[in-house]
A and B are shown apart, each in its own frame.
Chain A
Amino acid sequence: MSVEPLIIEGGRIVDPSSNRDEVGDLFLRDGVVSTPFARDKARVIDAKGKVVSPGLVDIHVHFREPGQTHKEDVGSGTRAAAAGGFTTVVCMPNTSPPCDNPATIRYINNAIAENAVVKVHTTGCLTKGMEGDSLAPIGSLKKAGVVAVTDDGRCVQNNALMRQVATYSEMFDLPVMDHCQDTSLTEGSVMHEGDWSLRLGLKGWPAAAEDIIVSRNIILSELTRAHIHMQHVSSAGSVSLLRRAKQRGVAVSGEASPHHISLTDKYLGGYDPVFKMNPPLRSEDHRLALIEGLRDGTLDCIATDHAPHRNYEKDVELDSAPFGITGLETSLPVCLETLHRSSGFSLSEVIDLMTRKPAGLLDLQAGTLSEGADADVTIFDSEKEWTPTIDGFQSRSDNSPWLGQTLRGQVETTIVQGRIVYEDGKIL
């Protein structure tokens, strides 16, 4: 591979995978992290005062291709990832048609080969058509290259089928990721069930709807020995169930999203659909429990659940608005604010949750600056203030609660396999 050798000079190199947090130079050659080489042979990037970290990893994004490319596609989604400092992402299979067959995976892999500016891994469905009735061809999906299986956006309600899913996936060593939602408790629900839903007259979504499925999954993981990963954990109950399960060695894991750790249901007080998500923003006690879960390792990583919708789709009464927000371009500053500046996490701990740990969950070759690893690097200014605007977003959608808000921490350069893909606000 012929890419220009790069020396990133004088930055604070934070690489949790090698316990590294020091000011120094980083050498990239032939697409990998290399031993030092002569300065005159390379382009030099001045990183003084900046943080140099492994490229960020997000195991939960929606790129809407195929089927809803008016919202996003692999090209725009990966540009948003690059702008947010992500070099590896895992896209969800709830496309249209859904990824319940190898042909759709091949179609997406073509789009990735042609249009992606960062690395993209695919996932396959648990059930045919995501209908929750019968097993998807999980073995063929594995052959087509998926790194996990999930019906994200939906949740298998039939416990016997979920048991088979877990047993069958375990045979292929494929992690099962689950969107935990007992739908009998959430019919018509639009926000967290609590004081705010009561006051606003909106149908509440009890935390119990998540806790019940998390309990079910823990029990099934114990029974089948399958790795079951709980997506976008939002409740205190889920955190405490996971904590106890992990203590006795059950193969379960969990992720938290930037919005669930930073926002609460009170933001729905003005009925603004930009705050409508699935699972819903919960109350302060739940939010704090998620942060504690990240602190003690009960929750394994940060994942954005980047869920683009066009602004006209959200410009309706709250009841009719779609769920979800875009997240890739604001994740790093939001996590720095919530975890590092407000909750005492070290910079290295925050980066760990966004690099080594998510990569490890799905066994991805990413999230490290050790020698010989792919030269995936993010350079950011952890203090720089900026304001997201519609025009400034790389994503095709702008359903972000942080539009117009001042954020602290900005990505300056994103490097994928030694190639600069994003620099000074522009995709290269």
Chain B
Amino acid sequence: MKSEYEWTRRNLIGIENLTPEEVTFILDTAVSFKKTMGRSVKKLPSLRGKVVANLFLEPSTRTRVAFEVAANRLSADVLTVSGSSSSITKGETLRDTAQNIEALKADMIVIRHSAPGSPLYLSQLVDIPVVNAGDGAHEHPTQALLDCFTLREKIGSLEGKKVAILGDILFSRVARSNIWALRKLGAHVTLVGPSTLVPGTFESMGAEVSHDLRSALTDADAVMLLRIQHERQSQMHFPSLGEYTSLFGLNRERTSWLKPEAVIMHPGPLNRGVEIDSDLADSSRSVILDQVTNGIAVRMAVLYLCASADEWQKREAVL
């Protein structure tokens, strides 16, 4: 895991502030971790004796389990605090909860929270590394990293590649983190979906905005689908799931507009028959399950790098 590059961040709050070199470095580190996943003995001793607190104040089974598996593979002990059991719902502030977790001598916090900015706020409150596992509509950095990891694995370098992100961009932290990550890695990003969910203001983040599915998908190297949550968007953002699917759902015919070797991604959970035809989701073009596996390797890399930077900085402070 050694390289001439020096990783210095103890927190991972978002992709926006990372340099392209830092994004690449995490992905390269994850490649090494993925190799170890094929071994019969999967555990590495890197975080032995450390406690990783999973503070999930907004429900998310998939991401929470992925972080737990990643921490376990690094031999860390995992302490999970989830929304329903947390005293936050009983009026305790995030400051109180954070200080309690620190007092329990946790060495890292992985936080999922519905309020944008809460991981940054938390990182200012505690003296241990904080990893953002999704904050409202702001960022979901490890998802973007695992998406980029998967793309690099399937289509090679992202420099000059065309990636379409399709669906609910406005409310999506996955979209925001991916825009930053893909742009930093040199990809061209096209956002596509209804104008109510894909406002033109996203061009300020360096992406192209389109409301025409055909032009957005034509010659794309990859398409990332995002989950449509009609319940949350009520009737305000599009008239019905049926109308959405008829205009923006991915099916065999529309897939033919992509480059022949292009891949289909989805962060899950899928609405089969809404964002994507069910059999297409299970087809050879779909890399949805690779994303899940790669999520472990990427999160191992993030936990390992942030813990190492923290240890190194604390040692420097003593000397």
**Interface flag for A363 (CB, 8 Å):** no
- Interface 1/0s, chain A 301-341, versus B by CB < 8 A? 00000000000000111111000000000000000000000
A202 to B176, CA, bound (A): 12
Q: Which residues of A contact B118 (CB under 8 A)?
A: 317
Q: Which of B95-136 touch A at CB < 8 Å?
A: 95, 113-118, 120-121, 135-136
Tell me whether B176 and A201 are in contact (CB under 8 A). yes
In-complex Cβ contact of B113 among A195, A200, A315, A317 (8 A):
A317
A315 to B99, CA, bound (A): 14
A316 to B201, CA, bound (A): 28
Number of interface residues of A (CB under 8 A): 15
Tell me whether B138 and A201 are in contact (CB under 8 A). yes
Q: Which residue of A lies closest to B93 (CB)?
A: A316
**Interface flag for B77 (CB, 8 Å):** no
- Interface 1/0s, chain A 171-201, versus B by CB < 8 A? 0000000000000000000000011001111
Number of interface residues of B (CB under 8 A): 24
- Contacts across chains A and B counted by CB atoms under 8 Å: 54
Q: Which residue of B lies closest to A194 (CB)?
A: B201
Known contacts being A201-B139, A317-B113, A320-B115, is A270 close to B201, with CB within 8 Å?
no
**Interface flag for B208 (CB, 8 Å):** no
Known contacts being A198-B201, A198-B205, A319-B136, is A271 close to B120, with CB within 8 Å?
yes
Tell me whether B115 and A318 are in contact (CB under 8 A). yes
Q: Which residues of B contact A320 (CB under 8 A)?
A: 115
A129 to B115, CA, bound (A): 31
A141 to B95, CA, bound (A): 44
Q: Which residue of A lies closest to B114 (CB)?
A: A319
Q: Which of B122-158 touch A at CB < 8 Å?
A: 135-139
What is the minimal beta-carbon distance from A192 to any residue of chain B, in angstroms? 12
Tell me whether A199 and B94 are in contact (CB under 8 A). no
**Interface flag for B202 (CB, 8 Å):** yes
Q: Which residues of B contact A201 (CB under 8 A)?
A: 116, 135-139, 173, 176
Q: Which residue of A lies closest to B170 (CB)?
A: A198
Q: Which residues of A contact B22 (CB under 8 A)?
A: none
In-complex Cβ contact of A271 among B94, B116, B205 (8 A):
B116
Tell me whether B117 and A200 are in contact (CB under 8 A). yes
A315 to B122, CA, bound (A): 11
Q: Which residues of B contact A270 (CB under 8 A)?
A: 120
A198 to B137, CA, bound (A): 9
Q: Which residues of A contact B120 (CB under 8 A)?
A: 270-271
In-complex Cβ contact of A198 among B93, B113, B173, B202 (8 A):
B202
27 inter-chain pairs at a CB distance below 8 angstroms, sorted by A residue, are A194-B201, A195-B204, A198-B201, A198-B202, A199-B204, A199-B205, A200-B117, A201-B135, A201-B137, A201-B176, A202-B117, A202-B137, A202-B138, A271-B116, A271-B117, A271-B120, A271-B121, A315-B93, A316-B93, A317-B115, A317-B117, A317-B118, A317-B121, A319-B114, A319-B115, A319-B116, A319-B117
What is the minimal beta-carbon distance from A380 to any residue of chain B, in angstroms? 36
What is the minimal beta-carbon distance from B277 to any residue of chain A, in angstroms? 30
A201 to B173, CA, bound (A): 7
- Interface 1/0s, chain B 12-48, versus A by CB < 8 A? 0000100000000000000000000000000000000
Q: Which residues of A contact B173 (CB under 8 A)?
A: 201
Q: Which residues of B contact A194 (CB under 8 A)?
A: 201
Q: Which of A250-297 touch B at CB < 8 Å?
A: 270-271
Q: Which residues of B contact A202 (CB under 8 A)?
A: 116-117, 136-138
What is the minimal beta-carbon distance from B105 to any residue of chain A, in angstroms? 24
Q: Which residue of B lies closest to A320 (CB)?
A: B115
Q: Which residues of B contact A318 (CB under 8 A)?
A: 115-117, 121
Q: Which residue of A lies closest to B117 (CB)?
A: A271
A318 to B201, CA, bound (A): 22
A319 to B117, CA, bound (A): 9
Q: Which residues of B contact A315 (CB under 8 A)?
A: 93, 95
